[in-house]
Amino acid sequence: VQAVIARDHAVSVATVADPKPGRHEARVAVVSAGINAADILQARGHYPPPPGWDPERLGLEFAGIVDAVGPATTEVRVGDRVMGITAGGAQAEYVVVDAATLVPVPPEVDLVVAGGFPEAAFTALDALILQGGLVIGDRVLVTGALGGVGSVAVQIARIAGARVSALVRDHTRDAEAYALGAHEVLTLNELHDAGPFDIVLELLGAASLEHALGRLATNGRIIVIGTGSGGSLEFSLRTLMGVRGIVRGSTLRARPIHEKAHLANVVAHRLLPALAEGSLRVHVHGTWPLAQAAAAYEAFSQAGKRGKLLLTVRSA
């Protein structure tokens, strides 16, 4: 079985063991697998997977067709079109996961495109709705709004009835942010008099968080998901106290199976109708065959991406 691996900080494709599903698991013949910032970090040796996962294997999300199931698996059957998240190894011809964590791919949705949906969808839905408590009319700031997670987060916030501000690198790509559903497009140096925000989805880290903290509404919540622009900062506790603000952080990867399964159910119930009808879309920057994974990783590291970068493994 062919799989993307990272060895000595270089990405390549190698032959790995053929995975077999355990009792409650399903084996998925992967059609496409998205690339995420965490893969890049892992490949560079900065973000090892949780204990028990092979640090050489890459890939956190996939879509494909179930081709084998364990004896106690009830959630899916051979032949089902599915997508999901995993703590590693999704960029491969086959991936084995707990069947309860799989989400069906609606018939209207292309399996290649679906491979770029789960990581952003699970992350954004969990952060905005389950952790952030987003309700209709909330003012939401999404930093890194044109990236993989951000572009889905802007759409989800809009669908949920929020007033959405999208923070982008510069104003050259405003039209894309408005097309996602943003009401307002901001750059970092415009943040100081924006808001106040009920929810900040912090995908960039310290550089924007430093300013966003001062723009929080009363009872505002900040959910920190990414730290690409810096992982630490000094901020005024009095500012936070004054608005009774909450700052929380979250990661998805190391969560136990039952939490991922719960999230899969919420994604299936809350987001699939919008995905199927096209009001929620995965924006694809480009696709690369699995064998060209190294080139795709290189492209991911360039600024100015427009949505997801996907590795295609087989035709659907």
Ligand X SMILES: NC(=O)c1ccc[n+]([C@@H]2O[C@H](COP(=O)([O-])OP(=O)(O)OC[C@H]3O[C@@H](n4cnc5c(N)ncnc54)[C@H](OP(=O)(O)O)[C@@H]3O)[C@@H](O)[C@H]2O)c1
Helix, strand, coil abundance in the chain, percent, nearest 5: 35, 30, 40
Closest separation between CB of residue 211 and ligand X, Å? 11
Binding residues with ligand X: total (CB under 6 A): 27
Closest separation between CB of residue 285 and ligand X, Å? 9
* Site track 114-133 with ligand X (rule: CB under 6 A), x = hit: -----x---x----------
The helix (run of H) or strand (run of E) holding residue 10 is: strand 10-15
The rounded distance, in Å, linking the Cα atoms of 305 and 284 is 9
| Residue 84 CA to its chain's centroid (Å) | 11
Asked if 301 is part of the footprint of ligand X (rule: CB under 6 A), the reply reads: no
Q: How far apart are the first and last CA of the chain?
A: 18
For ligand X, give the closer residue by CB, 17 or 303. 303
The rounded distance, in Å, linking the Cα atoms of 308 and 303 is 13
Helix (H, G, I), strand (E, B) or coil at 84: strand
User: Looking at 9-17, 51-59, 220-228, 238-246, which segment touches ligand X (CB under 6 A)?
Assistant: 220-228
Asked if 38 is part of the footprint of ligand X (rule: CB under 6 A), the reply reads: yes
Asked if 144 is part of the footprint of ligand X (rule: CB under 6 A), the reply reads: yes
Q: 93 Cβ partners below 8 Å, 6+ apart?
A: 1, 2, 3, 29, 30, 290, 313, 314
For ligand X, give the closer residue by CB, 47 or 235. 47
Q: Which of 216, 229, 284, 293 binds ligand X (CB under 6 A)?
A: 229
* Site track 93-112 with ligand X (rule: CB under 6 A), x = hit: --------------------
Which residues form the interface with ligand X (CB under 6 A)? Answer: 36-38, 119, 123, 144, 146-150, 168-169, 188, 203-204, 207, 225-226, 228-229, 250-252, 303-305
